[in-house]
Amino acid sequence: MSYDVELIRADFPILERRVGEYPLAYLDSANTSQKPQVVIDAMVDHYERHNANVARAMHVLGAEASAAYEAGREKVAAFIGADRADEVVFTKNASEALNLAAHSLGQGLKPGDEVVITVMEHHSNIVPWQLLCARTGATLRWFDITDDGRLDLAKAAAENLINANTRIVSVGWVSNVLGTVNPIAQIAAQAHAVGAVMVVDGAQAVPQLTTKVAESGADLVAFTGHKMVGPTGIGGLWGRHDLLTELPPFLGGGEMIEIVRMTGSTFAPPPYRFEAGTPPIAEAVGLGVAADYLAELGMADVAAHERAITAYALETMQQLDGLAVLGTTEVGPEGRGGAISFTLATRDGLDIHPHDVMTFLDSRGVAVRGGHHCARPLHERLGITASTRASFYLYTLEREIDQLVEALAYTRDFFGRAA
């Protein structure tokens, strides 16, 4: 079956909305994706017919809920290319997954050890490592970027960034601002050569790319459900099973234990040792259905559509006087993901604040994001305070890009007249 975007859009009820007199052009999928009806229905059905706690109640509903929860884990594991389902730890989002990684990996860190990240990271892949280094005395270092928004591998090599003192390397697979696809396997090989653990923030990659975590070179990969047509409130951390069995738990509570005595406790095997308390059960059901939905579409076709719509957007947007794209304008498997961040100025060079751009676009039915997109250090590195971001996904149409460009032209000209 060919990839029919109009047919796919019929699965997403919200895309039929209008904003005033304008059709909704939802171009904020890097922030959160919309949900197909099958995901919504699966969660409603769970609450209506199977709701109970998992791994506790021995009645019929409890057994059904437990089976549904673990089925969600199996579906997600298959979707991301894990070797086994118990390598997938459910968390509430990618941020919690990265905090789990930082807390558990960092137990043995000491002064003189080094953690390496990049300047293009989302705050969720910066702050946990800052907190870890502050707590342990380890040193935080980072990759710089080139003028076209790629990691500066040559500078990193010259600075001996990954070295014998490196214990952890944590890199975003796809930048949520620049769209840059980072060479994860290459960096992982460098990390492993010095005995370091490779952590990957896959929040933007897993929804867009065919993902084979077991073949990626990573040791741990964080991802989140709400960016991959799944519900909010659930994400995951994939890890190599041998590594997960060595890591201490992140949170304490029910179901993450083996035996509890007043003198001490022992812990359950992974993934359960990292899932304290009542988990997001209905959300796991919904995420499993989301994984099935994406798998049925075919991630190769999703990625191809994303490349095509991003190429169309770059070509169309760059014809607009006053618009400057951040990062690379190359599109392809190693080029960029479907997020385009940009600045806008009037014809006489007056910068228009991204919050104003976002507001004016919203008044014309176009949903984008304005700000630093939880990546303030990257914006500082680029010499700007903020940007506007349009981000696309499996349901984005060319006519929505046209609507975006028309709204941007209107915004530019309005502020030009106001000046």
34 membership: H or E segment, kind and range: none
Is residue 249 exposed (0-12), middle (13-18) or buried (19+ Cβ within 10 Å)? buried
For the beta carbon of residue 265, count every other beta carbon within 10 angstroms: 13
Kindly give the pairing relationship between strand 22-23 and strand 18-19.
Answer: antiparallel
Integer CA distances (angstroms), 303 to 81, 109, 300, in order: 16, 38, 5
Encoded amino acid at 154, one letter: A
Q: What residue spans of 46-86 are helical by DSSP H?
A: 60-80
Count other Cβ atoms within 10 Å, centred on residue 120.
27
Half-sphere exposure of 393 (CA within 13 A, CB side): 28
Active site residue 133: no
Taking the CA atoms of 343, 344, 350 and 355 in sequence, report the sign of the dihedral they define. Answer: negative
Contact partners, residue 51, CB within 8 Å, separation at least 6: 61, 65, 281, 282
Structure tokens at 231: 């519900």
Of 374, 375, 401, 407, which residue is the catalytic one? 374
Give catalytic residue positions: 374
